[in-house]
Chain A
Amino acid sequence: MEFGPIFRSMRRNKVRYGLIVAEVALTLAIVANCVNMIRDYKRQLAIQSGFDDDNIIRVTSRPFAPAFKEDGYLDNSLREDLAALRAIPGVRAVSNTRFLPWQGGGSSMETRVLGSKGEMLRNQVYNADEGTLAALGAKLIEGRNFAREETESETLRMRQIFAKPRPTGADGTPLEKTSQDIIISKAFGQLLFPDGKALGKHLEDTDGDQYTIVGVIDRFYNPYGWPIHEYVMFFPSYSRNFLGGAGYLVRAEPGKRAAVQASIEKALIKANAGRTVQVQELTQIKERFQSRTSLVATILSTLIVLLLFITSLGIVGLTVFSVNERTRQIGTRRALGAQRADIIRYFLLENWIVTTLGLALGIVLAFALNVTLVARVSSPKMEPSLVAAGVFLLWIAGLAATFLPALKGAKVAPAVATRNV
């Protein structure tokens, strides 16, 4: 192998080879880090809510007619809305709840195991009726769902308790504690009871109000501003008021979503005018929530492609230059008996050495850049296997970019050596 001549040639043309080394090193560092970030974004985008996202429609009714200020009118209108929504052909389930998956937030509270004196844990909290789990497509794995009569009576009972200030005891919390049945997510159950079953256990909140776990659902994921995406409790209640309106989740039969969606506004206005109705499919809400992440992933992927193109171009350019400059040397070698394969091998070997030097520097740069990105933009830590894959890819790319110019060099006729000496 021609290591001797290659190293001597490299010493004489430090800058030219240095350029390829720098370019390869930078490319490896950028590509490895971009792919690392893209993989992290893809992981985020792949998280499942645990619900039948594709077939769910969100409906919001916002009243403006003064009649809606009256409790009885609001209750009637809610019942009529639920009936009207259920009557639409193609509807599988309907629910009145404030919960809206994928909106990037919601409401939360703090609870702990009753009597534990332990730390309060934050969890998401939403009202639910008998149709909520069916409307979400959430799977109940233990216990029971809420019943319709239960939702009705609990709504009235809690409304009465909270209609006026509650007398408090010496500790500042209400004297009379309330007690409600709740359904929680499996993940929240595991957080509360790391080594036991959650079903039938009791919780308390910061007022000492109590909750009994009567059901557990398999999976729940709703991205929240605080790290409580998988922790939720549902309590049985309808929810509506004049200022906030009422929210519904409608789940359509597979393939019927668009048709159901088109008839919702008319059906609700027919049931009760004096309000506006907003209808939106959950997939759109989810897309909006994820749009930033998916756009950044797309942009970074595009940058990688452009970058690899430019780097290959640079390697081709420098090899062409290097071949042209050495036309006479090649002719001399050919005249002295070197085969074409020898010439090609020479250039491939030379390029491989240069690329490898670049990659060695690039590995260092890739990890250095990753340290910066981790510190500044909380990107994930670099996985060494990713850098290894990058090294392999750039080796191939380097050899491929060298091959054509080297082939051209190999075609130089031995006679060239005799001209112009």
Chain B
Amino acid sequence: MILHNVRIAWKSLKRNRSLSVLIVAGIALGIAVSTTFATVRHSFAKDPIPGKSRGGLYYVRMDSWDPARPYPGPDATLPPTQLTYRDMAEIMKSDIPKRQSGTFKTALYVFPEDKTTQPFRENIRLVYSDFFPMFDVPFRYGSGWDKKGDAGPEQVVVLSEAMNDKLFGGGNSVGKTVRISDRDFRVVGVLAHWEPSVKVFDLTQFQIDTPENIYMPFNLLKPMQLRTFGNSDGWGSSGGQTGFDGFLQSETCWIQMWVELPDAASLAKYKDFLAAYVMEQKKHGRFQRPLNNRVSTIREWMKDQRVVPPETTAMLIVSLLFLAVCAVNLVGLLLGKFLARAGEVGVRRALGASRADIFLQHVVECELIGVVGGAIGLLLSFAALAALNAWLKTTVVNPRAAFFHLDVPMVLLSVGLSLAAGLAAGLYPAWRTCRLSPAVHLSLQ
């Protein structure tokens, strides 16, 4: 029965081609626009590490900022986005978290073995060994280093897939040596392809950059006298401290801190621990602002950092209203189309079709329009997203490939919107059509 209705609907669409093209194009445009901008927003907003965003992994902030005024971010109630080195070093001594890691990025020269290749400067992330299991980082060869590697610190590195290709032409490079700055490092692990949707472990800047290609033990900071290449926010007096050691002792905030707390009990315990740490520091004249510690889930941290650009929300709202206009427009066009066929409906009714039959047939026709329009719309939005990805390449220094892409939830959303638009637009015209009195229209034939 439905199949029969689909066939009638298809014939009806083919009968008045130019009107059908107009109708389908209208709905396709609405679906294309709304799917595209829903996907754009979703690309920023979605769970970067599925499963980890609701709990377990937490970003740590403490308000060590200037007593005279709040940290100058967009929201004055929030503490600084990063920790000072000395605070990170102290709270890392806690044994409450199952895993924990401070992290920052630097940039150093890498000297390829092949002497004919120019040395190149590469962003390098400093992490503790816990970093890899915490963020579910997948390894192709080898693994991260162990606690001994942290403590040493050993001169070891983990390479991304791309860096392994660049330096060693791919393959299992575990055990090989790579020269970085003025030291030799042993490769202990090579990552499999790893690209969380946003650069979740460092949301302080360039959130849609490709993750760093080289990882090394955090404690190399001091022996190599490394500098951060991320943000560093300072305030207040230097206390006479100068140079590298002065920087480590200063109130400058420049380190990101992550902890893994498996359950509510350990979360509560860790919060108490942080509060006690700050209260203790207050006695020494530091942390003079009100107690304002944050142990945030990835979602909360993403919200505070405004990872979703407000423009994408604005465009999503506008594009959904755009779809609404397309649907309203469709109602008018369908109404005209269906009522123009009153005579034909009259014949069917006179031959015994019930109102329900007529209604169903017209609703099916609307849904067919929705599906065809939706499919074209989906293709259009595929093209639009590809264009946006090409744009990213020209504007972001180091963007990941295909940052904007239609994933399963977005395709389902698109299909759902198409069906809903077809139904919403078709119900009233179908109802009006089935209510036509057969006699009047037959008499006009």
Q: Which residues of A contact B (CB under 8 A)?
A: 15-16, 19-20, 22-23, 26-27, 29-30, 33-34, 37, 62, 64, 66, 105, 109-110, 119-120, 122, 162-168, 171-175, 206-208, 225-227, 243-244, 276, 287-288, 291-293, 295-296, 299-300, 303, 306-307, 310-311, 313-314, 317-318, 320-321, 324-325, 369, 372-373, 376-379, 420
Contact = CB atoms under 8 A, between A and B. Distances in A.
A15 B433 CA distance: 14
Q: Which 7 A-B pairs have the closest CB atoms?
A: A377-B310, A321-B336, A314-B329, A168-B240, A166-B240, A291-B395, A64-B109
Contact of A291 (B310, B322, B339, B391): B391
A244 B227 contact: yes
A378 B121 CA distance: 39
B336 A320 contact: yes
A233 to B, nearest CB: 16
B235 interface: yes
Contacts of B241: 165-166
Contacts of A318: 332, 336
A276 B120 contact: yes
A173 B237 contact: yes
Contacts of B85: none
Given A22-B328, A26-B324, A320-B336, A243 B227 contact: yes
Given A37-B314, A310-B29, A320-B336, 6 more contacts: A26-B324, A173-B238, A243-B108, A292-B395, A317-B332, A378-B310
A62 B182 CA distance: 15
Contacts of A110: 235
A306 B395 contact: no
Interface string B223-247: 0000100010011111111110010
Contacts of B231: 105, 225
A226 B235 CA distance: 14
Given A292-B309, A310-B329, A206 B242 contact: no
Interface string B109-120: 101000000111
A208 B240 CA distance: 11
B89 interface: no
Interface of B: 22, 26, 29, 33, 66, 68-69, 72-73, 107-109, 111, 118-121, 182, 227, 231, 234-243, 246, 309-311, 313-315, 317-319, 321-322, 324-326, 328-329, 331-333, 335-336, 339-340, 391, 394-397, 428, 432, 444
B318 A33 contact: yes
Contacts of B72: 122, 226-227
A311 B325 contact: yes
A163 B244 CA distance: 10
21 contacts: A19-B335, A20-B332, A27-B325, A37-B314, A64-B109, A110-B235, A162-B242, A163-B242, A165-B240, A173-B239, A206-B237, A206-B238, A276-B118, A276-B121, A287-B395, A306-B33, A310-B29, A310-B325, A313-B22, A320-B336, A376-B310
B329 to A, nearest CB: 4
Contact of B238 (A64, A171, A207, A293): A207
Contacts of B109: 62, 64
Contacts of A207: 237-238
Contacts of B235: 110, 206
Nearest to A314: B329
Contact of B321 (A26, A292, A313): A26
A165 B329 CA distance: 74
A38 B311 CA distance: 11
A303 to B, nearest CB: 6
B335 A321 contact: yes
B121 A62 contact: yes
B264 to A, nearest CB: 32
Contact of B240 (A174, A244, A379): A174
Contacts of A166: 238, 240-242
A30 B310 contact: no
A64 B394 CA distance: 28
A23 B322 contact: no
Contacts of A33: 318
Contacts of B240: 165-168, 172-175
B395 A317 contact: no
Contacts of B120: 276
A64 B69 CA distance: 41
B391 A295 contact: yes
B395 A288 contact: yes
B322 A172 contact: no
Contacts of B119: 64, 276
A26 B395 contact: no
Nearest to B119: A64
A165 B243 CA distance: 8
Pick the most buried of A109, A166, A378: most chain B CB atoms within 10 A of its CB: A166
B356 to A, nearest CB: 21
Contacts of B315: 296, 299-300
Contacts of A34: 318
Contact of A321 (B242, B318, B332): B332
B328 A314 contact: yes
A406 to B, nearest CB: 16
Contacts of B318: 30, 33-34, 300, 303
A15 to B, nearest CB: 6
Contacts of B391: 291, 295
Contacts of B332: 16, 19-20, 23, 314, 317-318, 321
B118 A317 contact: no
A172 B391 CA distance: 51
Nearest to B224: A243
A62 B118 CA distance: 13
Contacts of A206: 235-238
A314 B68 contact: no
A306 B36 CA distance: 15
A363 to B, nearest CB: 16
A129 to B, nearest CB: 23
Contacts of A174: 237-238, 240
Contacts of B242: 162-166
